[in-house]
Amino acid sequence: MLFNSCYKNDKSTKIVIALRTDKQGNVIAGSKEQLITSIRNGVDIKVGWGGKGLNHSIEHLAVPIWLSILDETEVVAHLDPQVLSHINWDSLDANYSDTKMLKEEWRVVITSKGTFDAVWYDRELDTVIKRVPQRHVMTWLVKDVKSEKSSPFFN
């Protein structure tokens, strides 16, 4: 009994939506202020988005490698560059069978305005292959929502 009493219920393990925006960047859940407060308090952040076509859907969840707060109102998240895999939609599997893709790197910047800017970069030729700006419903998840206001990092 004493063993169990040594542990308190830690609410910080609860994952909640700090902000969800539609494709036009309109807030549909949470708030930008809530997201910014969480960032300033050092809370773990994840960003989720996805797409749905006629036959298939895909959902992504990523941990940004760094976050920026612009003019105390908008958030920018950079994702870790990735070598993308080939998706086999018939078997719902992923692999690196397309060896051409192994030299390509996918880089993304996401904003709290619903924008998602992706570039494919050829590491061998040191050049951008293509750029695909997009808009998605974006969900910013945080581990616990810290409600205490924090000062901007420049103060």
| Bridge partner residues of 21 (DSSP) | 27, 138
DSSP assignment of 25-90: --EEEE-HHHHHHHHHTT--EEEEEEEE-SS-EEEEEE--SEEEEETTTEEEEEPPPBPPPEEETT
Write down the pTM of the prediction: 0.84
Residue 137 lies in a domain: yes
Residue 46 lies in a domain: yes
For residue 54, the enclosing domain spans 14-143
Residue 7 lies in a domain: no
Residue 143 contacts residue 43 (beta carbons within 8 Å): yes
pLDDT digits (tens, 9 = 90+) for 48-105: 999 999 999 999 999 999 999 999 999 999 999 999 999 999 999 999 998 888 999 9
Decide which of 72 and 8 is more confident. Answer: 72
**Which amino acid is present at 119?**
V
Residue 40 lies in a domain: yes
Residue 151 lies in a domain: no
Residue 47 lies in a domain: yes
Residue 126 lies in a domain: yes
Decide which of 150 and 126 is more confident. Answer: 126
Residue 71 lies in a domain: yes
- The structural domain count of the chain equals 1
